[in-house]
Amino acid sequence: MSLLEIDALEAGYDDALVLNGVSQTADAPEIIAAIGPNCAGKSTMPKAIYGLVTWRGGSVRVAGGDVIGLAPDLLHRRRAHVGALARKRSPTQIT
């Protein structure tokens, strides 16, 4: 089980599909980054995870639990819990 699992995520704004089949996983102490040109969906991905843009398909799991449709404040609490888990699993402290 990864701390973050994004599988075939599709999301966008109104009729515009911005993310089409995006998949990514991350374990502690990994750091992931989204790199690309303007309008490539770099900021849309976290917005889709937090439910701030229109979700159209795929799944997002944090510490094994599905977070699609979860209210942003509850997701934020889960993210804080995952951060604590990551620090416990990591052999080095990340600051």
pLDDT single digits (tens) 32-69: 888 999 988 999 998 998 888 999 999 999 888 888 88
Contact criterion met (CB below 8 Å) for 92 and 29: yes
Residue scoring higher pLDDT (54 or 3): 54
Give the separation between CA 64 and CA 94, rounded to whole angstroms.
22
Residues 6 or more apart whose CB falls under 8 angstroms from that of 26 comprise: 2, 3, 4, 32
pLDDT of res. 93? 46
